[in-house]
Amino acid sequence: MADLSLTLGGIALPCPVLPASGTFGLQHARVFDIDRLGALVPKTITPGARTGHPAPRLAEAAGGILNAIGIPSDGVEAFIRDVLPLYKAHRPPVIVSVSADTAAEFADMAARFSGTDADGLELNLSCPNLEAGGRIFAADPRDAEAVVAGCRAVTTKPLWCKLTPAATAPGAVAAACEAAGADALIAGNTMPAMVLDKNGAPRVSNRTGGLSGPPLKPVGLRIVDDMAGRVAIPVIGCGGVMTLSDVRDYFAAGASAVAVGTGTLARPSTMVRLIDGLAAEIDARGTTLAAFREALRVAATGR
């Protein structure tokens, strides 16, 4: 069987297929072997406890879904005490997704995790920066840079940045994160969107939410391509990865790995199917993971 292991953003991964935050939990161990995943990424946690948005929080949206969950969280201390050890009992590296309202709070979270055995931190920069009047951190290179620099100053743990497809210049945001010391980028998160019912009323209580699933893939490919052309650190493609052909397309766009969200919600075994499919294809071609990715990228860019 093909060797799918790689080192990405300072972390050794058994394979390049990992869960997207918020769509995966340890309960999946009852459905498939989660020790085969490239990493374990829990749902985003925040400094203090939060309840998230009221129901309804999910709606179907033309081939995808709209979610307005609103990041319910028990807070960082409860996570470190009660949840992190359960994740660390499994084989894949654990990348903890964190979010906060200000750059200083992000740095406090990063410092708090420094003393734990988390393998890396995913900075969820798709949340509103309260100091910038609610602008999403990853919408602006300076806001993103401030968070990464603040976290870099207090931890040596690998820092992965989860960016947004809503940025007008995603490559500039990616470059700012790299300059501030990020080790990898996840491109990206959901796209702000709205779904109405037959009476014209919003289908989720928050009125708007984040679009995910297949409708997001062309958007995801575009931002991965833009970022991969701008940075030397690896980019993880995220948005509408459901099939092996989606994985190939993200590799062609410049991704080194993929994260799967809605694919798991639609069919819980999606990630292990992708891992098996990727290994079979690499074996059939008699190539390596790195050469397979490189060939797809060269075909897409002509160089």
Q: Which is nearer to ligand FMN, 2 or 57 (CB)?
A: 57
- HSE on the CB side for 290, CA within 13 Å? 5
Q: Would you say 202 or 287 has its CB closer to ligand FMN?
A: 202
Interface with ligand FMN (CB under 6 A), residue from 16, 171, 209, 213: 213
Q: How many CB atoms lie within 10 A of CB 298?
A: 11
Partners of 58 in beta bridges: 67
CB 73 within 8 A of CB 100: no
DSSP 282: H
The catalytically annotated residue of 15, 127, 151, 238 is: 127
| Tokens representing residue 221 in the block | 């490919």
Q: Which stretch binds ligand FMN (CB under 6 A): 134-142, 173-181, 198-206, 209-217?
A: 209-217
270 binds ligand FMN (CB under 6 A): no
With CB under 6 A as the contact rule, the residue among 46, 189, 256, 270 that binds ligand FMN is 189
What part of residues 9-28 is at the interface with ligand FMN (CB under 6 A)? 20-23
The residue from 240, 249, 257, 297 that contacts ligand FMN (CB under 6 A) is: 240
In the bound state with ligand FMN, the residue whose beta carbon lies nearer, of 2 and 151, is 151
User: Rounded distance, CA 91 to CA 132, Å?
Assistant: 39
Residue facing ligand FMN at closest CB distance: 22
Q: What are the tokens at 2?
A: 């093909």
One-letter amino acid at 273 equals R
Nearest to 105 by CA among 72, 127, 74: 127
- Tell me which stretch binds ligand FMN (CB under 6 A): 25-33, 64-72, 105-113, 281-289: 64-72
Note if the bond before 188 is cis, omega within 30 degrees.
yes
Q: Residue 158 corresponds to which tokens in the numbers above?
A: 């690998």
Cα–Cα nearest to 20, from 8, 4, 38: 38
Environment class of 197 (CB within 10 Å of its CB; exposed 0-12, middle 13-18, buried 19+): exposed
> Contact with ligand FMN (CB under 6 A): which of 155, 164, 190, 270?
190
Return d(Cα 62, Cα 151) in angstroms, integer.
38
In the stretch 242-261, what mask flags binding to ligand FMN with x, by CB under 6 A?
A: ------------------xx
Concatenated DSSP letters of 90-108: SSS-BEEEE--SSHHHHHH
Q: Does 53 bind ligand FMN (CB under 6 A)?
A: no
Size of the site for ligand FMN (CB under 6 A): 27
Using rule CB under 6 A, residue 238 touches ligand FMN = yes
- Cα–chain center distance at 132: 23
177 as an active site residue: the answer is: no
Please, which of residues 81-140 interact with ligand FMN by CB under 6 A? 97, 124, 126
Report CA-CA distances (Å) from 172 to 26, 149, 153: 35, 16, 22
Q: Which stretch binds ligand FMN (CB under 6 A): 46-54, 66-74, 141-149, 292-300?
A: 66-74
Nearer to ligand FMN, 52 or 285 (CB): 52
Among 25, 26, 69, 222, binds ligand FMN (CB under 6 A): 69
- Interface positions with ligand FMN (CB under 6 A): 20-23, 43-44, 65, 67, 69, 71, 97, 124, 126, 162, 189-190, 212-213, 216, 238-241, 260-263
Residues labelled as active-site residues:
127
